[in-house]
Amino acid sequence: MPIRPEFRALYPPNWRELSARVRFERAGGRCQGCARPHLAHVRCLPDGRWFDETARTWRDWRGRPARWPDLIDTVHVRLTRVVLAAAHLDNDPANNRLTNLKGLCQRCHMLHDRPHHLAQRWLTYRRRWAIGDLFLGQYGLQPYPTVIATPASTPG
């Protein structure tokens, strides 16, 4: 997951080395959530199952052997490229202790960060509403009412 520009200053100068250590030395190049291998193209299903080419079996969202998809499931199989990232378990990019970092694929990373992202989204909406309350309460959603005064409609 790319680092947002506003958070870049929170990351240490040796972030590349730290991230590589977490993803490849500690995690062994596999997601620590679902065991998908880094940079592999894997077939996966919406419920998190994915096909492990090396073991020639389907695995579940935790990397355990899983049932094979039936005909209906097969319709939903899609191919995805796995990219491992070093995830902050407490969602604090300034906390770069190794105990706070985990090598996760993009799916596991998004699932892990989802509650934090929802909370951030709620704060963003509240911030916009507060700004709208301060400045005429338009919230940026309704079009500004336009009243055009014509000479015939003006009271005389």
Task: Report the interface residues with Zn ion, using CB under 5 A.
Answer: 31, 33-34, 105, 108
DSSP H/E element including 59? strand 57-59
Shortest spacing between CB 102 and Zn ion, in angstroms: 10
The residue (of 49 and 96) whose beta carbon lies closer to Zn ion is 49
The residue (of 78 and 136) whose beta carbon lies closer to Zn ion is 78
Q: Taking the CB of residue 154, how many other CB atoms lie within 10 A of it?
A: 7
Shortest spacing between CB 37 and Zn ion, in angstroms: 10
Shortest spacing between CB 108 and Zn ion, in angstroms: 3
Location of structure tokens 């199952």: 49
Under a CB-based contact definition with an 8 Å cutoff, are residues 81 and 40 in contact?
A: yes
Q: Kindly state the tokens that stand for 63.
A: 């990397």
The residue (of 46 and 145) whose beta carbon lies closer to Zn ion is 46
